[in-house]
């Protein structure tokens, strides 16, 4: 039976309350022993999650036995702790006088945070009140040093655990935006330096607590990492249907916590800075940052007399805050959300200019955008944003949700505005390039249609709307073409020329826009999505297309590294993970060399082969990393490569011998391989694209299958992206022509698939 999210969560909250009540009664009974009377001068105190009545099934019992110097306290403790252990419960315990507890709390941050949430279970009320009052008084009097220490601990934890909202397998407790951060915010609130968490943060906390509770129920363990295989069962237990809905809800809660936490630590940092300067507060200053906005106490607030009926006000105030590097005051954001008039389609130029100015602030725009988003202003300004908001990417290369990726890309594009004729179109294109990921179908196609409508609503003219539509439609064209096609092939250049011709008269402008957008998109995706080789390929492809647009002759292909070739007709250079070989061209050279690398337990991360017909030479460039452990001895690897080039090494026999010695274990299920014959991608060869889960010797097996069909690899682009191999082969027949016979192409496709399986 399907359960609604509200009823599922209500049941979990009731289960926690019931369990805490049962534990309280049982523990009180243990302290009272047989006569039912709790000894004088002693109290049992719950701290941590039990103290807050938030104990989930896998949570520990954190207990403190407080006493007034009783000599028999050890015996009292034994009659508490041993039954708890016998019951199989996890226990963190201590026995203290008030003075001892106070001393420990002043020296140990974990103990201090726990005692701030101390709750009496049984025993003397006055003793617990005395303990709480003493710990709280010390916490407030030591606020300067304790909050500085707590802030440093939080930053270290965030660095090691990452941000919960953007992780595929987040730690619900320790990651940035998790349950631990809400507990920290409560502790900071207890110091009176900043406000305690508000209702929105408490609601976000309760959602994360319910997810943690369901996770413990599903796994029967205390682990707090929401791993992939548990996400669907946890989602079902919470009435959320599937893992994507669960991750979206979790991301929204985590971002609410992070947003509030950032503002809280902003106030704490100002408090600490003021104390360092020798005064608690400085006089309020009001410095203009934009029309209608001023800086006050390190935040941006509305100026006196700000026109709330101005449809550009919200974005203009946000842009002013971003360019000043300041947060928007929460009260100001709330006032704007409640009372400010927002632009109606088509937007006036002032509102559109303010949006562009906000994005043009670069990385400083991101926290301000988050301010608006948390107040619900972004989805009111751009209703389509709801489709991508908090949407998980389900891709290890993407470090952000779709909406945050778009904002990061737009912010990154701000550094590239000098490279294009229309910076405004670049910034808005960065914001919209993946907007189609919230809709069915190819996100580039659906996104282009959405971008067309959004651009019109923003008030761009028809020509600019067409450019933005094409930019979103073809935002992957340059990176995909540059890394998966032979840019020396005229057909590759023609592919790009056809795309940029979508906006007649503005082809060069669109080309530059796509080049800049490729950089911003890749850098916003994650560190594995951008490298010097990819940058060089995109730049070279752009240069060649620009030359074709200008009517200039295409630049000649780059000269091969023939300087490597020695008098024996072949050369090998090994420089760390980079392996370069120049040798007489012959069938099967690429995959035979790949076989030697596999013999030495090297995993090919990228490979490039260039045939130079005039010289009869092939230049092969590999990036290869050890499968595990240390790299092979370069001299041994070079020796085997030279034996191969001299036809004195049987690679197949040695690989088969090695394969027989490896015990095969069942692996994790992965998506099936895909082999595609790409039509019209080249005029001089047939292009075969292979997508498969990477494993040692993959390139060797694919090459063997191609060779078994009597085909030769003229050029290749081989890349490994994480665990995914994306390999493109330009193949020709024995006569050097692209095979056109459907039977031959079907045969090669089936043979490659068989080799991959």
What DSSP assignment string belongs to 233-261? HHHHHTT--SHHHHHHHHHHHHHHHHHHH
Q: Does residue 503 share a domain with residue 591? A: no
Q: Compute CA distances 512 → 90, 258, 476, 577, whole Å.
A: 61, 36, 13, 33
pLDDT of residue 663: 53
pLDDT beyond 50 at 664: no
Show the DSSP H helices in 550-694 as ranges: 589-599, 634-645, 651-661
Condensed to tens digits (0 to 9), the pLDDT of residues 7-18 reads 999 999 999 999
Residue-range definition of the domain harbouring residue 259: 144-275
The verdict on whether omega for the bond into residue 50 sits within 30 degrees of 0, i.e. cis, is no
Q: Does residue 232 share a domain with residue 125? A: no
Of the candidates 718, 715, 714, the one whose C-alpha atom is nearest the C-alpha of residue 737 is 714
Contact 625, 607 (CB under 8 A): no
Of the candidates 55, 413, 714, the one whose C-alpha atom is nearest the C-alpha of residue 405 is 413
Q: Does residue 318 share a domain with residue 346? A: yes
- Bridge partners of 731? 686, 713
Q: Does residue 698 share a domain with residue 624? A: yes
* 641 Cβ contact partners less than 8 Å away, ≥ 6 residues apart: 572, 579, 581, 593, 596
Percent residues over pLDDT 90 in the chain: 63
Q: Quick check: helix, strand or coil at residue 206?
A: helix
Place of tokens 């050279």: 589
pLDDT of residue 586: 83
pLDDT of residue 557: 53
pLDDT of residue 659: 64
pLDDT beyond 50 at 742: yes
The CATH number of the domain where 25 resides is what? 3.30.460.10
In-domain check, residue 299: no
Residue 555 pLDDT level (bands cut at 50, 70, 90): low
In-domain check, residue 374: yes
Q: Does residue 167 share a domain with residue 62? A: no
Q: Compute CA distances 91 → 45, 57, 85, 132, whole Å.
A: 13, 13, 7, 22
Final residue before a domain boundary, out of 118, 142, 166: 142
pLDDT of residue 366: 96
Q: Does residue 503 share a domain with residue 595? A: no
In-domain check, residue 404: yes
Q: Does residue 608 share a domain with residue 704? A: yes
pLDDT beyond 50 at 62: yes
Rounded Cα distance, 604 and 726, in Å: 12
pLDDT of residue 609: 80
In-domain check, residue 426: yes
Pairing, β 571-575 against β 61-67: unpaired
Of the candidates 256, 212, 255, 257, the one whose C-alpha atom is nearest the C-alpha of residue 234 is 212
Final residue before a domain boundary, out of 230, 252, 275: 275
Q: Does residue 132 share a domain with residue 158? A: no
Rounded Cα distance, 248 and 228, in Å: 14
Query: Which segment of 300-304, 423-427, 640-644, 699-703 scores lowest on mean pLDDT?
Result: 699-703
Question: φ and ψ at 712, to 5 degrees?
Answer: -120, 145
pLDDT beyond 90 at 458: yes
pLDDT of residue 255: 96
In-domain check, residue 289: no
Contact 308, 340 (CB under 8 A): yes
The CATH number of the domain where 148 resides is what? 1.20.120.330
Final residue before a domain boundary, out of 316, 350, 381: 381
Condensed to tens digits (0 to 9), the pLDDT of residues 231-281 reads 999 999 999 989 999 999 999 999 999 999 999 999 999 898 876 655 545
Q: Does residue 241 share a domain with residue 117? A: no
The CATH number of the domain where 725 resides is what? 3.30.70.260
pLDDT of residue 110: 93
């Amino acid at each position: 039976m399907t359960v609604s999210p509200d009823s599922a969560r209500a049941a979990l909250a009731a289960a926690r309350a019931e369990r805490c009540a049962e534990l309280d009664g049982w523990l009180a009974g243990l302290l009272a022993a047989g006569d039912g009377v709790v000894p004088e001068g002693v109290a049992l105190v719950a701290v941590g999650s039990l103290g807050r009545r938030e104990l989930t099934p896998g949570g520990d019992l954190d207990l403190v036995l407080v006493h007034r110097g009783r000599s028999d306290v050890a015996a009292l403790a034994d009659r508490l702790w041993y039954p708890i252990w016998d019951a199989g419960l996890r226990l963190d315990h201590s026995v203290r006088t008030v003075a001892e507890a106070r001393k420990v709390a002043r020296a140990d941050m974990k103990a201090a945070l726990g005692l701030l949430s101390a709750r009496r279970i049984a025993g003397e009320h006055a003793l617990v009140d005395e303990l709480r009052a003493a710990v709280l008084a010390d916490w407030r009097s030591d606020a300067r040093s304790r909050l500085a220490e707590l802030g440093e601990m939080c930053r270290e934890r965030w660095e090691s655990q990452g941000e919960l909202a953007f992780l595929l397998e987040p730690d619900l407790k320790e990651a940035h935006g998790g349950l631990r951060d809400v507990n920290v915010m409560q502790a900071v609130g207890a110091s009176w330096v900043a406000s305690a968490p508000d209702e929105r943060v408490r609601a976000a906390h309760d959602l994360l607590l319910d997810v943690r509770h369901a996770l413990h129920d599903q796994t029967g363990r205390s682990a707090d990492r929401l791993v992939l295989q548990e996400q669907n069962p946890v989602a079902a237990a919470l009435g959320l249907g599937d893992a994507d809905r669960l991750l979206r809800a979790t991301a929204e809660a985590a971002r609410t916590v992070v947003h509030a936490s950032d503002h809280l630590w902003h106030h704490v940092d100002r408090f600490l800075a003021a104390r360092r300067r020798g005064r608690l507060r400085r006089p309020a200053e009001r410095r203009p940052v934009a029309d209608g906005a001023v800086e006050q106490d390190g935040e941006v607030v509305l100026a006196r007399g700000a026109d709330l009926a101005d449809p550009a006000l919200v974005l203009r105030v946000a842009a002013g805050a971003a360019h000043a590097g300041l947060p928007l005051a929460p009260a100001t954001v709330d006032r704007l959300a409640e009372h400010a008039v927002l632009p109606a389609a088509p937007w006036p130029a002032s509102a559109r200019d303010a949006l562009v100015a906000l994005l043009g602030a670069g990385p400083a725009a991101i926290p301000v955008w988050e301010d608006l988003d948390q107040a619900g202003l972004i989805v009111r300004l751009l209703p389509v944003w709801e489709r991508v908001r908090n949407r998980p990417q389900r891709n290890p290369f993407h470090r952000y949700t779709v909406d945050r990726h778009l904002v990061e890309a737009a912010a990154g594009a701000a550094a590239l505005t000098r490279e294009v004729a229309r910076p405004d179109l670049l910034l808005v294109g960065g914001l919209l390039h993946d907007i189609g990921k919230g809709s069915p179908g190819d996100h580039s196609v659906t996104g282009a249609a959405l971008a067309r409508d959004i651009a019109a609503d923003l008030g761009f003219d028809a020509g600019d709307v067409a450019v933005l539509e094409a930019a979103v439609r073809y935002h992957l064209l340059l990176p995909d073409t540059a890394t998966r096609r032979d840019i020396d092939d005229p057909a590759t250049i023609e592919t790009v020329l056809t795309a940029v011709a979508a906006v007649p008269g503005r082809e060069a402008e669109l080309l530059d826009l796509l080049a800049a957008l490729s950089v911003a998109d890749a850098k916003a995706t994650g560190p594995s999505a951008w490298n010097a080789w990819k940058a060089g390929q995109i730049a070279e492809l752009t240069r060649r297309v620009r030359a074709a647009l200008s009517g200039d002759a295409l630049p000649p292909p780059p000269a091969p590294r023939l300087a490597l070739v020695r008098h024996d007709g072949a050369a090998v250079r090994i420089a760390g993970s980079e392996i370069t070989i120049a040798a007489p061209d012959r069938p099967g050279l690429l995959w035979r060399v790949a076989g030697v690398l596999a013999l030495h337990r090297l995993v090919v991360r990228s490979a490039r082969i260039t045939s130079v017909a005039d010289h009869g030479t092939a230049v092969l460039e590999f990036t290869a990393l050890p499968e595990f452990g240390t790299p092979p001895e370069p001299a041994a690897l070079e020796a085997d490569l030279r034996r191969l080039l001299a036809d004195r090494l049987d690679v197949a026999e040695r690989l088969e011998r090695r394969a027989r010695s490896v015990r095969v274990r069942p692996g994790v299920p992965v998506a099936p391989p895909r082999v595609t014959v790409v039509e019209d991608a080249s005029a001089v060869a047939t292009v075969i694209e292979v997508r498969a889960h990477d494993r040692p010797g993959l390139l060797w097996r694919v090459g063997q299958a191609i060779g078994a069909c009597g085909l030769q690899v003229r050029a290749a682009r081989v890349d490994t992206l994480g665990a995914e191999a994306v390999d493109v082969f330009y193949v020709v027949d024995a006569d050097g022509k692209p095979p056109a016979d459907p039977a031959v192409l079907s045969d090669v496709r089936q043979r490659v698939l068989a080799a991959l399986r």
